[in-house]
Amino acid sequence: MGEPTLIGLPYDASSSYLRGPAQGPAAIRAALRCDSTNAWSEGLRDLGRLADRGDLGLPATGEARDLIERGIRDLLDDGGVPIALGGDHSVTYPILRALGPRHPGLTILHLDAHADLYQDFEGDRYSHACPFARIMEEGLARRLVQVGIRTMTGHLRSQAERFGVEVIDMRAWAAGVRPELNGPLYVSIDMDAFDPAFAPGVSHIEPGGLTSREVITLLQSLPGPLVGADVVELNPGRDALGITAPLGAKLVKELADRMLAVNRDGEQAEACPGDPGKPSSPSIG
């Protein structure tokens, strides 16, 4: 499988509350280059020459979806494995339109405070609150496993049941439930999956989330093949302490390291079950 390749998707016109995630790609790249850290992953892999396609030029209109789909398709055709930098979470839908059909049996691991399964939100079927409804409607993935959810509503619960989504909400996570995964796998990380103590630079602050170490450990244990990933919803304008972009950059490095480990180095990765004696079945919050 090809090389992990960054691609920036500076789009936030489908955000429902605040604009700002369009500046996310630049903030993550700046954190990756910052002299406060280095380019090595925790697995001792030098990622200083990580491939980067730059940012797509995206208008603040629905045309952006077609451009994203085309840009991801071109990256795949050139042999890359996309690590997309958002942008709001609506970008995941066109990414999966390009990538999903190439990987029958695809599983999506989705880390988020929100389920993003609305049938439509404020009259918009392509809102950042809706991408996974569109993805599952179109059969772009076989499984959707969500971790970190803590804003479930009655409608979202119904949608999760409709699509057979496996939801590990924060109550289940705290009780020890962990996802059981097998490839091919796509990872979508909304920065508000983290507790705001670790990632305050997001538009939708939601207390009670994941820690940075919990997510990093999860990424480091993922099985392969890893066919793509995105890191979305960083809002630099809300990142007053400047700590959220470095976390986004850390996630990029650990995702790239794991892609190289399971896709190229041939590691025989284990699935990610819960700890012995702890619950192992997901719950819908």
Q: Using one digit for the tens of pLDDT, what is the confidence trace for 185-235?
A: 999 999 999 999 999 999 999 999 999 999 999 999 999 899 999 999 999
108 strand-pairing partners = 144, 186
The fraction of the chain above a pLDDT of 70, given in percent, is 93
Cβ atoms within 10 A of the Cβ of 268, count?
A: 7
Peptide bond into 246 cis (omega under 30): no
pLDDT band at 16 (very low <50, low <70, confident <90, very high): confident
Which among 20, 1, 223, 269 is positioned nearest to 107, based on CA atoms? 223
Distances (CA, A) of 55 to 24, 35, 91, 119, 230: 11, 22, 13, 29, 14
For residue 35, with 0-12 CB atoms within 10 Å meaning exposed, 13-18 middle and 19 or more buried, which class applies? exposed
State pLDDT tens for residues 114-134: 999 999 888 889 998 899 999
Q: What gap in Å lies between CA 88 and CA 101, rounded to an integer?
A: 23
Topology of domain 4-264, CATH = Arginase; Chain A (3.40.800)
Average pLDDT of span 41-58: 95
- The pTM is what? 0.91
pLDDT over 50 (residue 274):
no
Q: What pLDDT, on the 0 to 100 scale, is given for residue 35?
A: 87
d(CA 79, CA 102): 13
In the predicted model, is pLDDT for residue 284 greater than 90?
no
Residue found under tokens 């990142």: 239
pLDDT at 276: 34
Average pLDDT for 265-282: 42
| Per-domain residue ranges of the chain | 4-264
pLDDT at res. 277: 35
At 152-173, the pLDDT tens digits run 999 999 999 999 999 999 999 9
Phi-psi region of 86 (alpha: psi -120 to 50; beta: other; left: phi over 0): beta
